[in-house]
Amino acid sequence: MSFSSSDEPAAPGLLSAITALRTAAENADGEALAGIVASDVIFHTPLTSRIRFEGREEVTALHRDIFAVIEGLSTTEPLTRGDTGVFTFSGHVRGLKLEAMNLVRVNDHGKIVEFTIFARPLPALATLFATLPPRVTARRRGRAKGALVAALATPLGLALRTADVLVPRLI
């Protein structure tokens, strides 16, 4: 079910862009993004505010990486207002369930110009942090730097997965 205010209808192309994005996610088809994102698209990751991905080629490549590490993605119907829509999605990262919300904004041509992802729970997000950046770094900067990023990020994922098991027993 979509929500639109009667005084601010959804922008032209917003629902079709979100539908195409949801289909791409559910089919793990990163290449499909090239046709629905603007050339100057910006992707804000939930992993850090220090990095954002810009441009059609980089955001499409990033989604190939995302779809390779998050398994079994499923999405929900969007809520829309003006040029912005949101929908939730879930999947698994190394066996942990990840739940997230995707905030999408489109331009006047119905192309996605901005993504912002919010994700939970923390152990799954940390596992994503330990899994995705090494892959992206290896693609962008080489295998050695990808291995370095993995060495730096992996302990965080392990620590939070362990804490997630032990801390609730103590509370």
The domain segmentation of the chain, as residue ranges, is 14-119
**Which stretches in the chain have pLDDT values below 70?**
1-7
Residue in the block written with tokens 């698994």: 92
* pLDDT tens-digit readout, 91-137: 999 999 999 999 999 999 999 999 999 999 999 999 999 999 999 99
User: How far apart are alpha carbons 131 and 25 in whole angstroms?
Assistant: 18
| CA nearest neighbour of 97 among 119, 129, 76, 64 | 119
| pTM summary value | 0.86
Domain at 14-119: CATH code? 3.10.450.50
